[in-house]
Amino acid sequence: MQKFDILSLDLKALTLLCRIHDAGSLSLAAERSGIAQSTASHTLERLRRALDDPLFHRSLGGLSPTARCDDIVGQLRPILDAMRSIAPEAEDIARDGATITIAANFYERCLILPPLLQILRAEAPLLRVSVIPANFAPHRMLLERDCDLALTPMPAGREKLRSEVLFDEHYACFVDPGSEVARDGLDLEHFAAAQHLGIVYAEGWSPFWQADLARQGIAFDPVLQVPSFGGVERLMAGSELVLTAPARLGQMFSPALTAIPAPFDSRMQIRMVWSPLSDSSTRHRWLRAAVRRACAAMEAPG
């Protein structure tokens, strides 16, 4: 076995090794690193020579790490984390040209990002922002360092992450303005019998209000299901369909859809979640403060 020369490798190469290990894919690791796949492939070959190990084997699920690769990555992570914590940052946020990655879904992208981006353009014009779907695994994305910050209704759980509630949200029912439902409103009995439009969320997740109703013995059985909120107002035009969604989305749906009170009191909390590794980062502390200011600037639901 060749002697392992750590000095022959740089931090970018070692970081790429960890990202390939996390993603199980060379192309995905290259994308997350902001480099071409050919560059990532060349770096992986250099890592294999330096570490005297194939590191990964091809499998049906992608790239599977060798036992030695698992051991190396396990030892590398705390070292790379420590290096990130001492890396110098721009003291003047106005001259900071770094890239930050925010994980957020439709709701957070529509409501929090617009005022947040206004703040960033005004105070940190050189800062680059990458927004990726949070889906329903934002905590895994943070732990695997795929994002710097997550905006999500999902609680932090048992992971070693920081979590802060930004605001509370309730639900409303959205209907066509000319519908009978818009005229008469909904009580719980009529809600149960209504024609519902349902959103099919990723990874089998369901909104909190559905679980609350299920505990009352009320089943949710939509007549139409779509994969996102995008364009629902056009699908609902001239119908008696009922869409139950976070009330603040009324800003997006009006005037095509009318909001009426939901016949139940179910709420969720929108959170900002981040890794404690960024606690001492000037850039990240400023970003979290900017998110708080953006939320304070949001228009309250009507």
Give the pLDDT of residue 205.
76
Where in the chain are all domains bearing CATH 3.40.190.10? 93-167+269-297, 169-267
Give the pLDDT of residue 301.
46
CA-angle at 236, arms to 232 and 238, nearest 5°: 155
196 and 240 Cβ atoms separated by less than 8 Å:
no
Where in the chain are all domains bearing CATH 1.10.10.10? 6-86
Class of domain 169-267: alpha beta
CATH 3.40.50.300, domain 6-86, yes or no: no
The pairing of beta strand 149-152 with beta strand 99-104: parallel
Tell me which DSSP letter residue 200 carries: -
Give the pLDDT of residue 151.
96
- CA-closest candidate to residue 230, choices 205, 212, 216, 249: 249
Give the pLDDT of residue 144.
81
Give the pLDDT of residue 89.
52
Give the pLDDT of residue 302.
44
Tokens 């051991």, located at residue: 71
CA-CA distance, 19 to 22, in Å (whole number)?
5
270 and 111 Cβ atoms separated by less than 8 Å:
no
Domain boundaries 93-167+269-297, corresponding CATH code:
3.40.190.10
Q: Which parts of the chain have pLDDT scores under 70? A: 1-8, 84-91, 157-159, 203-204, 299-302
Give the pLDDT of residue 9.
79
CA-CA distance, 193 to 222, in Å (whole number)?
10
